[in-house]
Amino acid sequence: MDWIQWGYLGLFVASFLAATIFPIASEAIFMLMLLHFNPWICLVVAGTGNTLGGILNYGIGYTGKTEWLEKLNISHERVVRWETQVKRYGIWMALLSWLPIIGDVLAVALGFFKVNWKGSFLFMGIGKFVRYAALLLIYWYGKEI
């Protein structure tokens, strides 16, 4: 799919889907978009899309039930270990929701264990926006070389 041809909407959709289970490299699309579009708008669009995708993951976790985990052969001990970690670090875990693969799991876990949604969404957004801002700085630095 030619995400760039779709402009900002393509960047938003790619960033949103990349925060879910779809294997989309939103960082690469973001960097390519910077060549053709306003960098600040790209930052806002990608950060917002990716944050909303993370919020969807939180919502999926929030609706989860322990019985579903048992059907997936996830032991009670493992669930308790995850719960201990989530309760220990709380909303701070949301800062890492931008990480590939593990970030999706973190967002789902935050929802599953009903961690404060306002703080989770805020920290999730901060982490995701900082990642795209770092890419924007790399882009600008690369242009100057």
Range of the domain at 127: 4-144
How far apart CA 101 and CA 57 sit, in angstroms, is 12
Q: Three-state SS for 64?
A: coil
Summarised one tens digit per residue, pLDDT across range 40-62 is 999 999 999 999 999 999 999 99
Overall domain count for the chain: 1
How far from chain centre, in Å, is Cα 122?
12
Q: Among all chains, which residue has been given the structure tokens 């995400």?
A: 3
Confidence (pTM): 0.89
- Reading the chain (145 residues) residue by residue, the pLDDT tens digits are 576 789 999 999 999 999 988 888 899 999 999 999 999 999 999 999 999 999 999 999 999 887 777 777 777 788 888 889 899 999 999 999 999 888 988 999 999 999 999 999 999 999 999 999 999 999 988 776 5
Cβ pair 97, 20 in contact under 8 A: no
Helices (H) and strands (E) in the chain, counts: 7, 0
How far apart CA 14 and CA 113 sit, in angstroms, is 28
Please give the pLDDT value at position 70.
75
Query: Which residues, at least 6 apart from 67, have a Cβ–Cβ distance to it below 8 Å?
Result: none
Distances (CA, A) of 109 to 65, 104, 120, 136: 12, 9, 11, 29
Nearest to 47 by CA among 105, 21, 8: 8
Please give the pLDDT value at position 67.
78
Please give the pLDDT value at position 1.
59
Nearest to 8 by CA among 98, 17, 121, 39: 39
